[in-house]
Amino acid sequence: MRVKEGCPRLVPSRRACAPGGVMWYGVGMSFNRPASMGILACPGGKSLAGEIISHLKSIHHRRFEKKMASLSGLYNLTREEITRQSNFDQDLHSSDFEGTGSVYAYRAPRLVVPANFTRFANGEFKTEIGTSIRGMDLYIIQDVANAYPVRFHNSDEKHALSINDHIICLMTAVDAAVQAGAESVTIVIPSYPYARQHKKKGREGLTAARFGQMMENMGVTRIMTLDIHSKEIENTFVRLNLENLHGSYQILRRLHDLIDLKDPDLVIVSPDTGAVDRNKFYASCIQRPLAMLYKERDYSKLSTNAGESNITSTKLLGDVRGKNVFLADDLLGTGGTLIKAFKLLKEMGAKKIVAGISLPLFTGEAIAFFDAAYEQGLFHKIIGTNAVYHDETLLDRPWYTTANVANLFARAMSRLHHNRSLSSLLDNSAIIQKLLNS
């Protein structure tokens, strides 16, 4: 194919417009307005989705401005002329051309896919997508750990949903997307449901695997989550891909505001044997010693709140006397395990104690128990991410601070959509080193 001099080079898209045919796109389209990318937010995930969409728009705007500056110098054209050509390419090949907006200005991507979620009186849910998504790469965002009341379509009443309600609501959204002809469906669930049911200790199910298999059988292409409890879960899928993002960099940035990461008196402590790999990663990145708490549990008891833990004894392997301590874990439920760890470390002579939690659930009366522990001086701060929604009830606590992971998900989603590598996001040790050297 010959290209006329002065015209932008056309590249084939990854979608065929007809058997044996190829739809051609201009060079500006993939980074300017990703028309084939859509974001659908379930009721529980609307807060996180709003932040992710904001970051996605910023990402695409930065890429656009960088590209325009580069092409302007290369072809000796004004930015307005190149922007006009990019918008022309977009309008020429868009199936939903509206002809609105200046042809010389940047046009932000829409991204949002409107949908109505209905909750019926008997507890059933229905999802109705409000626009065509045929051929679209759809990302459905759901926070299954959101314990706060949410509003549904045609109702001013709010309902607090259980994790199972959120899952069913997600399933109706997935089914609606598949029925509507989405090219691919990715579910973004920072808190992977039933993740702690990943191995059998007796006559019990492997529910963590079954959830993913249900999503796979429904037509989900990919699951994107945060610091999954066990990497073994991924081994149970046949075609579905699981992208396990890590919030370590975001948590360390907040820790850097609280404690000097180069402090020789800083010790990393794994709260249990299951969190050793996670804390070993932190210790190796910031080059600090690693200690571990070993716990014995009575599995015949069910932990329902922080005051009734099933831990029978705890021992410390390492030295924390006169040291500042950082503990990292994937999730915090009732908090009883963590409070016992704080108490033991204080008894062992630890000074300032900070915990980093990827998924801060704070179930039951956990907040009240941590209030009491903070008043007793058992810990300094808890760093939790915004992967689980919380309001001022938790966010205004003097002992709590938030690490924002919305940009992490936005960058991963953008890279996936444009078929770029996720390696630097999945292994973020390089950017952690930049943080240490700053």
| Residue 208 is assigned to a structural domain of this protein | no
Please tell me whether residues 262 and 381 are part of one structural domain: yes
Please tell me whether residues 14 and 110 are part of one structural domain: yes
Lowest-confidence range among 10-14, 316-320, 408-412, 419-423?
10-14
Q: What is the distance between the alpha carbons of residues 364 and 106, in angstroms, rounded to a whole number? A: 48
pLDDT at site 20: 36
Please tell me whether residues 38 and 151 are part of one structural domain: yes
Contact 350, 9 (CB under 8 A): no
Please tell me whether residues 155 and 259 are part of one structural domain: no
| Residue 232 is assigned to a structural domain of this protein | no
When divided into structural domains, the chain yields a total of: 2
| Residue 382 is assigned to a structural domain of this protein | yes
Please tell me whether residues 30 and 172 are part of one structural domain: yes
Partners of 390 in beta bridges: none
- Angle 419-422-427 from CA coordinates, rounded to 5°: 170
| Residue 392 is assigned to a structural domain of this protein | yes
Q: For residue 14, is pLDDT > 70?
A: no
Q: For residue 375, is pLDDT > 80?
A: yes
**Domain boundary residue among 165, 191, 217?**
191
CATH number of 96's domain? 3.40.50
pLDDT at site 311: 59
pLDDT at site 266: 95
| Residue 369 is assigned to a structural domain of this protein | yes
Please tell me whether residues 176 and 286 are part of one structural domain: no
Average pLDDT of the segment spanning 190-204: 88
Q: For residue 6, is pLDDT > 90?
A: no
**Domain boundary residue among 168, 191, 214?**
191
Q: For residue 310, is pLDDT > 80?
A: no
pTM value?
A: 0.86
Please tell me whether residues 186 and 283 are part of one structural domain: no
| Residue 261 is assigned to a structural domain of this protein | yes
Q: What residue numbers bound the domain in which 298 lies?
A: 248-404+429-437
Whole-number Cα distances in Å, 220 to 42, 72, 129, 211? 15, 41, 17, 12
Residue 162: strand, helix, or coil: coil
| Residue 238 is assigned to a structural domain of this protein | no
Residue 294: strand, helix, or coil: strand
**Domain boundary residue among 191, 211, 226?**
191
CATH number of 262's domain? 3.40.50.2020
